[in-house]
Amino acid sequence: MKFLLDTADVEDIKRICAMVPVDGVTTNPGIVAASGKSVFDLLPAIRDAMGGKGMLLAQVISPTVEGMIKDAHTLTSRVENLIVKVPVTPNGLVAIKELTKEGIPTLGTSIYGAAQGFMAALAGAKYLSPYVSRIDAQGGNGPETVKELQSLISQHKPDVEIVNASFKSPRQALECMMIGSAGITLPPSIFDLFIADPAVLAAVTEFGNQWFKAFNRHTLD
Ligand code: E4P
């Protein structure tokens, strides 16, 4: 499974890269806007934080076909090996199809339904991001939508991978990781919650205290 981070915080990226292999970083217009930095300064800094390698994704801003294609050209001409996120709207599908013809890799984003996501696969997207928590928040079932999309891909086998996105709880993320899709992108806050059970620290402290009581030191020898 590809494991990506959904953030523009370079310190979080470095911190998490030191713990587990990170296959890439996704950003979106909200994440970039919140950083207060230029996307053209931010993206190279993110790549540096990943040690100069890994997938890097940034999203087009314009809602029109021409604008999306122009944004994709601008982004890819200024940042090497960028994967362009394109919302799966009617205009987005046209842009994905055109960019695919040009050899620019795309990720279909803002996916709320399996059939919608599959259309982006047919248009040529290399990656698809269903918005799991946002689907849940509007009364749908995010993990179920991911299963449906995965089933369409497995049956029809287009050359595409799911990168599950939009998580507000570790449970949502875990459920999607168990479905077996190709990848997931997580905010650092959700990664931190995977390893934040207070019982872990309690167990480690208990063993440390037992050791100290017996040997009067906190070291092995
Ligand atoms: C995907 O890469 C998007 O950036 C993202 O997951 C949207 O997530 P949000 O619902 O947390 O804003």
Residue 167: partners with Cβ closer than 8 Å, 6 or more residues away: 6, 132, 133, 173, 176, 184, 186, 187, 190
The pTM score is: 0.95
Catalytic residue check, 85: yes
Give yes or no for a contact between 44 and 35, defined as CB atoms under 8 angstroms apart: no
Q: Which residue in this structure is represented by tokens 């939508």?
A: 145
Query: Tell me, what amino acid is at 108?
Result: G
Mutate to test the pocket of ligand 1, among 28, 86, 186 (most ligand atoms within 8 A of CB): 28
**Does ligand 1 have an atom closer than 6 angstroms to the CB of 28?**
yes
What are 56-70's pLDDT values in tens digits? Answer: 999 999 999 999 999
Tokens of 71: 């944004």
Q: For 2-196, which CATH class?
A: alpha beta
Residue keyed to tokens 């290399």: 126
The larger pLDDT score, comparing residue 157 to residue 215, is at: 215
Q: Which atom of ligand 1 is nearest to the CA of 85?
A: 2
pLDDT tens digits for range 154-195: 999 889 999 999 999 999 999 999 998 899 999 999 999 999
Atom of ligand 1 nearest to the CA of 28: 4
The domains of the chain are located at: 2-196
> Ligand 1 within 6 A of 6 CB?
yes
